[in-house]
């Protein structure tokens, strides 16, 4: 019989109630520019869609584009972007992050407030998240071990 995961979580959390659980980490995250927080780079990389391109449209309406990356632009497209007040030229390939199911231009700042909230939550719950991921790994390994083996067809 498999042990009850809720018992494992309770055991993993036992003895940590005296650990400081203020909003200190969250306040530190929100009090500084995201790029100044030591974990911000990890956050951006972790939530990156790992795709880049010549241009990214952000849900807030801004556009980011790289005019000098050797991209194949349509005739007049770069000129139209340069004339667009919502478009910003950057000197690198345009990436994106996925936050709450939406994809944002990495260079835009519109998603930073929500990113700071999420990062603060992650930092304030790091041990609980690690315990959850460990338990999920064990559960999934058990599930995989109970799965039938399917041989490759000849």
Rounded Cα distance between 37 and 116, Å, is 10
Strand order from edge to edge, sheet including 102-105: 48-53, 94-99, 102-105
Rounded Cα distance between 149 and 114, Å, is 44
Residue 94 phi/psi, 5-degree rounding, is -85, 120
Question: Tens of pLDDT along 74-130?
Answer: 999 999 999 999 999 999 999 999 999 999 999 999 999 999 999 999 999 999 999
User: What mean pLDDT comes out for the span 10-17?
Assistant: 43
pTM listed for this prediction: 0.70
pLDDT score recorded for residue 29 = 54
- In the predicted model, is pLDDT for residue 131 greater than 50? yes
* Other CB atoms within 10 Å distance of the CB of residue 32: 13
- In the predicted model, is pLDDT for residue 23 greater than 70? no
For all residues of the chain together, what is the average pLDDT?
A: 84
- In the predicted model, is pLDDT for residue 73 greater than 80? yes
pLDDT score recorded for residue 95 = 96
Out of 10-24, 50-64, 73-87, least confident range: 10-24
- The answer to whether 62 and 88 are in contact (CB under 8 A) is yes
- In the predicted model, is pLDDT for residue 19 greater than 50? no
pLDDT score recorded for residue 36 = 78
- The answer to whether 154 and 20 are in contact (CB under 8 A) is no
- E strand or H helix that includes residue 56: strand 55-57
């Amino acid at each position: 019989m498999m042990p009850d995961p809720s018992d494992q979580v309770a055991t993993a959390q036992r003895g940590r109630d005296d650990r400081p659980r203020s909003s200190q980490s969250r306040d530190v995250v929100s009090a500084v520019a995201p790029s100044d927080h030591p974990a911000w780079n990890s956050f951006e990389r972790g939530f990156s869609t790992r795709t880049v391109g010549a241009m990214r449209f952000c849900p807030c309406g801004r556009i980011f584009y790289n005019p000098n990356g050797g991209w194949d632009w349509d005739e007049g497209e770069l000129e139209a972007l340069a004339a667009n007040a919502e478009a910003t030229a950057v000197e690198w390939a345009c990436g994106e992050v996925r936050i709450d199911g939406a994809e944002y231009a990495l260079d835009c700042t519109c998603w930073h407030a929500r990113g700071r909230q999420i990062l603060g939550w992650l930092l304030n719950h790091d041990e609980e998240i690690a315990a959850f991921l460990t338990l999920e790994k064990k559960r999934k390994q058990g599930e995989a071990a109970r799965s039938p083996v399917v041989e490759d067809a000849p």
